[in-house]
Amino acid sequence: MPQLTIIMPTYNAAAFVRDAIESLLNQTFRDFELWIVDDGSIDNSLKIIKTFNDSRIKIFSYTENKGRVRTVNGLVTKITTPFFTITDADDISHPSRLEKQMEVMEEDPSLYMCGSSYWAMDEQGHLVREMKLQSDLIQLRVAALNQSQFLGPSTIMRREVINAFPDFYRLYFIDNHADADLSCRILDRFPSTNLQEPLYFYRILKTSVTRKKVTVRNLNLHLLIGFLSQQRRENGQDCLQKDNPDQADLFIKDIQDEYDRDPSFFSRHQAFFHLYWGLTDLAFLNMVNAIRARPFFIKNYVSFFYTIFRIGIFYLNRGLNGRHYSSLMR
């Protein structure tokens, strides 16, 4: 039996899925099975997936789109290997990623999850920023109260975590941050770590759910996840585990009130969110929207000129130091 199961949900990823699959088949660690799930794609994703002839691949094909959360929840209970990971169909794994993570997990039986630092890259594969994640368990648990400390698709987990929770991905996070919520619940309960070396290349797409459906709620779900973690640490369970989602909704509503008081705040927050991930055109447009919402608010003009400055720095660095992820794939 293989040691690792890789689940790759795929939906309309024809432009990237071939590279994603090849990055896994070319891993130095080879003792795995790769479950590729075409989740009702209407492009050529399934056709591309079927071109691969590798005994480690198992293809699942759905006629209707279930969404990543429901798709994964329906498959994880079928895993029989000691370890598993859930990766994305538009991302790339470094050739030594699985080998190095599996080595850590096998050497330390107390670890239940191992992620890695990663590179964010644009749609063409040019590197945007390096994300260095912490490895120390105590520091991870402290920092997780404010911001997710794991990139979900980079994590390898022990099969035991599947049975540790009544629901794997929670439907409350069906549109966003389901990975972050899961990794935080695992971190609160089990020893976990990250490899310091960036071994995953996370593609930033304008069309992804995370960036296409930007809402006040989605921009602040990381705060809710920290709030739920604090509840678990103090009471053993969070409000969602107690079947009380109203308390989580109220937490988000209190945040929403701040945006309601300033009609330009949402656009300004979106601008900084897009700027962080290198989506400079969206950052500029959102700052224009912020000024339109409150044309006499000085903070919007300060933020606008700061955004222009950061966009200039971004393209200067791209011109001087621009690299493609392929330059690091060895």
Q: Tell me, what's the pLDDT at 330?
A: 79
Does residue 165 sit in the same domain as residue 44? Answer: yes
Amino acid at 120: A
- Confirm whether 329 is domain-assigned: no
Q: Tell me, what's the pLDDT at 1?
A: 85
Q: Confidence band (pLDDT; 50, 70, 90) for 19?
A: very high
Q: Confidence band (pLDDT; 50, 70, 90) for 96?
A: very high
- Confirm whether 304 is domain-assigned: yes
Does residue 85 sit in the same domain as residue 186? Answer: yes
Does residue 17 sit in the same domain as residue 129? Answer: yes
- Confirm whether 330 is domain-assigned: no
> What are 177's two structure tokens?
């941050």
- Confirm whether 131 is domain-assigned: yes
Q: What is the DSSP letter of 40?
A: S
Chain mean position to CA 18: 20
Chain mean position to CA 3: 24
- Confirm whether 214 is domain-assigned: no
Does residue 164 sit in the same domain as residue 270? Answer: no
Does residue 240 sit in the same domain as residue 137? Answer: no
Does residue 228 sit in the same domain as residue 154? Answer: no
Beta strands 57-62 and 32-39: pairing type? parallel
Quickly list H helices, the chain. 17-25, 45-49, 68-76, 97-107, 137-143, 160-164, 178-189, 209-212, 216-235, 245-261, 265-276, 280-293, 298-321
Does residue 100 sit in the same domain as residue 139? Answer: yes
Residue pair 147/73 in contact by the 8 Å Cβ criterion: no
The C-alpha atoms of residue 8 and residue 16 are separated, in whole angstroms, by 12
The C-alpha atoms of residue 22 and residue 213 are separated, in whole angstroms, by 30
Q: What is the CATH number of the domain that holds 187?
A: 3.90.550.10
Annotate 164-193 with three-state secondary structure: HCCCCCCHHHCCCCHHHHHHHHHHHHCCEE
Angle at 132 between CA 282 and CA 226, to 5 degrees: 75
Instruction: Report the pLDDT averaged over residues 64-92.
Output: 96
Q: Which of 286, 275, 272 is nearest to 312 (CA)?
A: 275
Last residue of a domain, which of 168, 185, 209? 209
Does residue 278 sit in the same domain as residue 305? Answer: yes
Which residue range is the domain that position 248 belongs to?
A: 222-259
Q: Confidence band (pLDDT; 50, 70, 90) for 213?
A: confident
189 Cβ contact list (under 8 Å, min separation 6):
112, 164
**How many C-beta atoms lie closer than 10 Å to residue 267's C-beta?**
22
- Confirm whether 328 is domain-assigned: no
Q: Which residue has the tokens 């949402």?
A: 266
- Confirm whether 302 is domain-assigned: yes
Q: Tell me, what's the pLDDT at 208?
A: 64
Q: Tell me, what's the pLDDT at 210?
A: 55
Is the pLDDT reported for residue 86 higher than 80? yes
- Confirm whether 310 is domain-assigned: yes
> What are 322's two structure tokens?
């621009």
Q: Tell me, what's the pLDDT at 211?
A: 54
278 Cβ contact list (under 8 Å, min separation 6):
120, 122, 128, 129, 204, 314
Q: Tell me, what's the pLDDT at 209?
A: 45
The per-residue pLDDT of the chain, averaged, comes to 95
Does residue 316 sit in the same domain as residue 251? Answer: no
Count structural domains, the chain: 3
Does residue 47 sit in the same domain as residue 190? Answer: yes
Instruction: Report the pLDDT averaged over residues 278-305.
Output: 96
Q: Confidence band (pLDDT; 50, 70, 90) for 6?
A: very high
Task: Please write the tens of the pLDDT for every residue from 132-179.
Answer: 999 999 999 999 999 999 999 999 999 999 999 989 999 999 999 999
**How many C-beta atoms lie closer than 10 Å to residue 138's C-beta?**
8
Does residue 15 sit in the same domain as residue 109? Answer: yes
Does residue 297 sit in the same domain as residue 255? Answer: no
